[in-house]
Chain A
């Protein structure tokens, strides 16, 4: 985009090279085996990407939504599963901790998370509370210098690999009586109870976390009791923007694959590029991808310049994943039988992208939020 700074352009170049060399070649294997590319994750730490939005004081790069989204796009083109794990670590865990933790907590946890020595995750959803997240039931009960935490957290990206969990719990009966904790791996009473097998994003581990009177020291409470909703609100926009970045990467990669394939594949004595039906698909994919790109980065730009809009971030989260699923389905169709096989990456991209219509707030929740924002006066009548 024309407004990228030299630093942002440099990030783009570094990430593009890294993604092509260290993510793309292994994406199919990790997808098939349902394994995590830990080696690449560690290397992201060496490149300074794991704390892209965190304060330099704690080892972060201190950059904004544009830079974080560039990483998502570039990684998303190569391996969306690895990118989702990167997002869960960098945006859901590190960025939250950076924004809400105390100086001592940040000094203790951020450097290792940002170097890649530790993997982070966030615990919000529960089996009975997905879209309705603030209804959560995992309880934290104060007992001397500790809290005892009991309950289950579902759909936790990076669960099996996480050294640090940024965890939301309930500390009272009121809707907003939610409190945040930092929970370390090895805490007595805390375990990863189940691995979850998924349609896509298979190179990103997902699991269920179980807490059975897990003892978490008072020092690991983030802010005060009842602060969680405030914490969540601060992070919502960047979560939605960055996950949309993965969908942009997927859409662009599908388009690139289709352009290449249309030039190579011959049927009826000429290559596919000559058929108007194929031209239409490619021209539409291009128009949609560019609309996605310009919408997304414009919203990032405004975000970085202090203009944070909940409706726009939700609109980005609604539009980009939805359009990318359509593009990826068309990309399979354009490749025909080969597109359905694992020899070409487009079927994986489609399976991966479907998650983006569900994770970090489903399309339907985005619709609800946007409608509520736009219609709040009318609804008050």
Chain B
């Protein structure tokens, strides 16, 4: 970590401890999202960290971004996720938006005043995203959108949505992407998902019923929507991986702290070799994941994005997060299973990290595809 990163992490840690941590147990139980927390994070510049300063961003690197996400995730996986999804929306706008789209939508997102959301999945097209059914029919001056998008992180609390919809025939080539904002006529929010974890981060269906979207809100040309959707993938995966590292690190920290204070059989449970082996494995896996995440972030920062590495980071860090949080509950025993201690929450929050931004099965498919390509290239 360089001096700047140390300071960023130090400040974020203070903010998380004083402004987020005291709410987490309550907000997890009640499913409460606090926009003021997100806006508070904005004041530290982490809601638009990699976006150039001309659009209000902090103009920092993906490595910096990973440190920030890890730190937030140590206190709250859901708020780290809200930041990461909003950031992915910004990186899409930056890469594919035209000048006026960038000027219009980026500043309020980078500052953290508003939240961005990404709408690709539908009830029957999750991993198989190109099979979506939502349509955008060309009319004079714009498009009419009809359909329902599912699993939308920050649905209802976000203002700016990147929405993929079908303007042409079947498959990926018939998909276009649009910027839709809260309040547009015919755009509404469907049911809120009841989930196992990520309870403070709202997940909702978003519904389009003859929703008119002006032509100027289309990103790139018709038929290039899938390119837009996939454009954010590498970055999204690295972000989720960094969150996975933070989630694992917190669980490990809690497990160490508890095992040093808890006495059974007249000694601290840390002194049992069985526990030491668990903790040593947890720490090693977490550190290995962190290195992989940083390698992937480095590839993004050096403008040579390595998709294989990004998928590997996502796969390894989130599988590790699941294993380490599960073991942490085990180390804490009965109290680990209760909401009085945070580890069960982190375990519930970890599970969906293995599912979002491409399930870990999809990551394996992606990695295998790269392996084959590399082999053929060298042969």
Contacts and interface: CB of A to CB of B under 8 A. Distances in A.
Contact of B194 (A129, A135, A342, A367): A342
B265 A342 contact: no
A318 to B, nearest CB: 12
Most buried by A among B125, B263, B337: B337
Most buried by A among B124, B150, B351, B360: B351
B29 interface: yes
A337 B339 contact: no
Interface stretch (A19-27, A59-67, A230-238, A266-274): A266-274
Contact of B354 (A155, A333, A355, A367): A333
Interface string B339-379: 11000100110011011100111001100000000000000
Interface in A114-144: 125, 128-132, 135
Interface residues of A, number: 47
Nearest to A275: B361
A193 to B, nearest CB: 14
B338 A341 contact: no
Interface in B110-167: 121, 124-128, 131, 150-151
A199 B194 contact: no
A199 B355 contact: no
Contacts of B291: none
Interface residues of B, number: 47
Interface in A273-307: 275, 277-278
A199 B339 contact: yes
Contacts of A351: 196, 348
B151 A337 contact: yes
Interface in B242-298: 263-266, 269, 272, 274-275
Nearest to B124: A266
Contacts of B266: 132, 135
Given A333-B354, A367-B274, A340 B196 contact: yes
Given A132-B265, A277-B361, A333 B330 contact: no
B326 interface: yes
A343 B192 CA distance: 12
A342 B195 contact: yes
B330 A358 contact: yes
B196 A329 contact: no
Contact of A154 (B269, B326, B334, B347): B334
Nearest to A342: B194
A121 B212 CA distance: 62
A354 B352 contact: no
B193 interface: yes
A357 interface: yes
A128 B269 CA distance: 12
A336 B126 contact: yes
B192 to A, nearest CB: 11
Given A131-B264, A267-B128, A340-B355, A355 B195 contact: no
A199 B348 contact: yes
- For the residues of A in contact with B, the DSSP-based class is mixed
B355 A341 contact: no
B17 to A, nearest CB: 23
A358 B121 contact: no
Contacts of A107: none
B371 to A, nearest CB: 15
Nearest to A199: B344
B322 interface: yes
A343 B334 CA distance: 27
Contacts of A333: 354-355, 359-361
Contacts of B336: 358
Contacts of A275: 361
A339 B197 CA distance: 12
Nearest to A335: B355
A131 B333 CA distance: 9
Contacts of B127: 267-268, 336
A267 B125 contact: yes
A132 B264 contact: yes
Contacts of A278: 361
A364 interface: yes
A263 interface: no
A337 to B, nearest CB: 5
Contacts of A198: 337-339, 344
B196 A359 contact: no
Contacts of B359: 333, 336
Contact of A277 (B193, B348, B364): B364
Contacts of A342: 194-196
A171 interface: no
B329 interface: yes
A355 B330 CA distance: 9
A218 interface: no
B83 to A, nearest CB: 20
Contact of B337 (A268, A340, A343, A354): A354
Contact of A362 (B322, B330, B340, B356): B330
Contacts of A354: 326, 329, 337, 344, 347
B355 A337 contact: yes
A155 to B, nearest CB: 5
B126 to A, nearest CB: 5
Most buried by A among B150, B333, B338, B359: B333
Contact of A339 (B121, B264, B355): B355
A137 to B, nearest CB: 13
Nearest to A340: B352
B194 A343 contact: yes
Interface string B294-335: 000000000000000000000000000010001001100110
Contact of B128 (A132, A154, A268): A268
The 10 closest A-B pairs by CB, nearest first: A267-B128, A199-B344, A347-B196, A132-B264, A342-B194, A268-B128, A197-B339, A340-B352, A132-B265, A131-B264
Interface of A: 32, 125, 128-132, 135, 154-155, 196-200, 266-269, 275, 277-278, 325, 329, 332-333, 336-337, 339-343, 347-348, 350-351, 354-355, 357-359, 362-364, 367-368
Given A329-B351, A362-B333, 16 more contacts: A130-B333, A130-B334, A132-B264, A155-B334, A197-B338, A197-B340, A278-B361, A325-B326, A337-B150, A337-B355, A340-B196, A341-B193, A350-B351, A354-B347, A355-B337, A368-B274
27 contacts: A32-B194, A125-B334, A128-B263, A130-B333, A131-B264, A131-B265, A131-B269, A135-B264, A198-B337, A198-B339, A199-B348, A267-B126, A268-B128, A278-B361, A329-B322, A329-B351, A336-B355, A341-B194, A343-B194, A350-B196, A351-B348, A354-B326, A354-B347, A355-B337, A357-B330, A358-B329, A358-B334
